[in-house]
Structure 1
């Protein structure tokens, strides 16, 4: 493999001249530039990205930690991140943590050793103790996305989950429902807590009872919806409507209810959360709360770029506002 010294020798110039021609860091005459580029082509020379990154002290690479999940929500966010990185001329190293704290720590250590220019964190298992790794490295610009830790000092982009839970429940109330339950995500996660609190606020504002028999927790996956619904079903009388705190769980509920002879929305109305692409293709198509997933990914990259280019440290929280998407899974009660 040809080196920059080989190119310089072939073109009859110094290695620094070759570097200036390739990196456009200094004026070089057209004649010499032509000779250098001809040598590059003849020798099939490819500049070393590693050597260049060491010289300029950046790698044009971001690292992203994301929880592996069957939930398409994560994939849709990552797509937004990848697209923005490509548009800005950055590479993305994606590490799946699989919900394992030890694996997350190892992945974080590897990313920092590779000298990534910035980090994107979207893994629910992250906690404060994991970041003792930072004490062994130079600080790296970091953006926490949606599910990450709240106390870690970084910029954060979050969905306004409380408002989303409120919108979902308010829609059911506006459709005439008074007996409304809530199937939450894991209540040790802030997003699940906030969506539940939005449900409670809408119920209390309408003067409706929050019946604890109609509240159960799942794991934000399809089977979590199945388990939570079976728990509520086993307690006796069902509500006429359920706010299910993400679309994957809602799909699990629709499937389980159907197996029990219950029709959606005739016997049970359902509102989900996330508006993943599958939501409009199931039967019935799912009324849900839309999260701007692609924009979440794009904005996270833009914030990292701003932190790097302007060399400033911030600790701001940006909230993306959810909206209601009406489809066919809610029945109007007269």
Structure 2
């Protein structure tokens, strides 16, 4: 790989002159500049990102930890993050944690060694001890996406999950349903707790009974939705509608219902949460709660860039609002 010294030797100039030409830091005559640029082209010279980072004290790289990029919700958020990084001249290093504390610690250590300019964290299942390394990095810009309390300095971007759970359940009620159940996510996770709380809010507001046998905890994965359906079928009575608190579980739930001969929505209405891209292509298309995933990714990068430019400003929390998307999996009983 060619170096500045090689360029200087071929162009018969000093290394400092080559540097000034490449960085436009001092006037250089056109004839000398042409010789330098001709040598650059001939030797296929590419500037060293490592050398530049050592000189400028930044790598123009962000690191991101995500539960798993194979889940459509996370994949769509990552797409928004990567696109906005590219538009601003930054690279993104993505690490999947798979919910494992050891992988979180290893990935964090790797990103810190690579001297990333900022961190994006989207792994709400993680326990705080896995992030202990960040306590010693108070000046590293960090944005936490859709997570609970933290014991390190960071900005936060959150989905109003309680409002989303309320919107989903209220829509079922408005369609005439009174016997309504809920498949929550893991109840030790804040988004799951908030979506379930929104379900309870809407049911209580409408003076409708909460049936414990129709409230099932899932795992935010397809198999969790299928297992929730099987549990529901064991109950002595059945609801007419279910709020399933993410689209991936809703897919598994509907799949299991199909093989059990339960027609969605004629016999059982279903509403999901997230509005992943696949939701509109299910048969029937999934009624769901939209999370602004592209906006979430874009906003996270914007907050990191703002933090880099204003490192001393106070931490902020930004809340993104969900909205209802009506498709075909909810039948009106009015």
* Contact 1:242–1:268 (CA under 8 A) maintained in structure 2: yes
Cα deviation, 1:242-263, whole Å, max 9, x if unaligned, reads 0000011111111112222211
CA distance in 2, matches of 1:135, 1:318: 22
- The range that moved more, 206-215 or 323-332, is 206-215
Deviations, residues 275-306 of structure 1 (Å, cap 9, x unaligned): 01111111111100000111111111111111
Post-superposition offset of 1:213: 1.4
Q: How does 1:218-237 map to 2 (within 5 A)?
A: 218-237=218-237
Larger CA deviation: 44-53 vs 123-132: 123-132
CA distance in 1, matches of 2:170, 2:148: 27
1:103-141 deviations in Å (ceiling 9; x for gaps)? 111011000100111111111333321233235557311
Tell me if the contact between 2:181 and 2:243 (Cα under 8 Å) persists in the aligned partners: yes
Size of the aligned set, in residue pairs, is: 334
TM-score normalized by the length of structure 2: 0.96
Query: TM-score scaled to structure 1, two decimals?
Result: 0.96
The residue number in structure 2 matching 1:134 is 134
The C-alpha deviation readout for 1:23-61, integer Å capped at 9, x for no partner, is: 222333333222221221122222111001100000111
Q: After superposing the two structures, state which structure 1 stretch, 242-251 or 3-12, moved more.
A: 3-12
Written as runs of structure 1 = structure 2, the 5 A alignment for 1:1-334 is 1-68=1-68, 70-134=70-134, 139-147=139-147, 150-334=150-334
SS at match of 1:324: strand
Q: Quick one: distance in 1 between partners of 2:138 and 2:29?
A: 40
Distance 1:266 1:116 in 2: 52
Q: In 1, are the aligned partners of 2:69 and 2:96 still within 8 Å (CA)?
A: no
Residue pair 2:156, 2:316 contacting (<8 A) in 1 also: yes
Deviation at 1:155, TM superposition (A): 0.7
Tell me how far apart the structure 1 counterparts of residues 80 and 148 of structure 2 sit (CA, whole Å). 18
The RMSD of aligned alpha carbons is 1.6
The DSSP-based 3-state class of the residue aligned with 1:270 is: strand
* Distance in structure 1 (CA, Å) of the matches to 2:252 and 2:321: 26
> Gaps spanning 5+ residues in structure 2: where?
none
SS in structure 1 at match of 2:38:
helix
CA shift digits 1:175-201 (9 cap, x unpaired): 011111111000111000000000111
Secondary structure of the equivalent of 2:183? Answer: strand
Gapped runs of 5+ residues in structure 1? Answer: none
Distance 1:166 1:292 in 2: 17
1:150 positional shift: 4.2
Task: Report the secondary structure of 1:107's partner residue.
Answer: helix
